[in-house]
Amino acid sequence: MLTAVYDTKPYDKEHLLAAASRDTLQWQFWDFRLSAETARTASGAQAVCVFVNDAIDRPCLQTLGELGVKLLALRCTGYNNVDLSAAQEAGITVTRVPVYSPYAVAEHAVSLLLTLNRRIHRAFNRVREQNFSLNGLVGFDLHGKTAGIFGTGKIGRITAQILRGFGMRILAFDAFPASEWARQNGVEYVDARTLAHESDVISLHIPLTPETRHIIRDETLELMKPGVILINVSRGALIDTTALIAALKADKLGGVALDVYEEEEGVFFEDLSGQVLQDDELARLLTFPKVLVTAHQAFLTQEALNDIARTTVANLEALNAGRPFVDGSVLTEGRPLVTSSVLTEGPAVH
């Protein structure tokens, strides 16, 4: 069975090949993204495999359906870039990786916090230039401060537990509170307004939906206490970038750490070091000394990559062999062969 893999990086190819049986699966690796314009390159493939910035809209899915593609395998958890209704109409099953190392993303969120708070990135650059001055590198103790965890899925809960280990007070907001976990870990659920108003650090761990798009905007930024550090390792469009820049220019925030950006497609995962950055808002963000940006690498650990490859390959082999897909991974039912755990919507933690 032939699978066309899009937006392929060396680590994707390495882990997919290592997880797959060479006797049952064949691969066609493309380094460009899947979109309506590139969908014809899937000709001859029974399945396609995509990542977070591939544009799987209705025209793209219609073309894939015409080509006879039966499975769209997302090698990620989030699926906001896929038109699920169009996939259903095209008879294409959509699967995702419902769980991969949540520690990878949670630990990256905390790494961003520590780096930004203690100005480690700036100190690193200074020392390499033999500048050993400490001016401008003052941070604050996390111990005794308040962290607000917006979303307590697996990643949010692990982040909360790590920060609790620093001696922080933990506030949390979630539409579906994990009350027993909160009790066991000394976490206090509060409303969103209280979390925004009382937290010294706010970390976002919620999926991108129409309801959560730009959940961080002028009004919510205004609620936050002066000097707050904001962290986003979930989805870029949770934050209104224009409002964020305005708040930074007004010196309302103590720092912003972003592993995601709402217009990251075509920028993140690419080497643009020899080019002029065309995204004016991202370019403006990068000028602020209180902003730290990584290029959507929170998932990038050996453990997470192994988990992603194993689940993705298991679903591809299930299609080939006529077996049920990995439990909990099915988003649309493109054919009868599915388990009872089919999802029409659900939490996306990366």
- Catalytic member of 108, 157, 296, 310: 296
Q: CA-CA distances (angstroms) from residue 167 to 92, 111, 186, 193, 229?
A: 48, 16, 11, 23, 17
What is the β-pairing status of strands 228-232 and 253-258? Answer: parallel
Distances from the Cα of 128 to the Cα of 40, 123, 139, 143, 240, angstroms: 48, 9, 21, 30, 35
Contacts of 340 (CB under 8 A, 6+ apart): none
Measured in whole angstroms, the distance separating CA 314 from the mean position of its chain's CA atoms is 22
User: Catalytic pick from 264, 265, 310, 350?
Assistant: 264
Adjacent-strand bridge partners of 2: 26
For tokens 């959940």, name the residue.
215
**Cα angle for residues 77, 327, 180 (degrees, 5° grid):** 75
DSSP designation for 224? S
Tell me the C-alpha distance between 207 and 156, whole Å.
11
Is residue 25 a contact partner of residue 47, using CB atoms and an 8 Å limit?
A: no
Spot the catalytic one: 96, 157, 205, 235: 235
The answer to whether residue 235 is catalytic is yes
Distance CA 6, CA 38 (A): 10
DSSP-assigned states of every residue in 133-165:
--TT------TT-EEEEE--SHHHHHHHHHHHH
Burial class (CB in 10 A: 0-12, 13-18, 19+), 242: middle
Residues labelled catalytic: 235, 264, 296
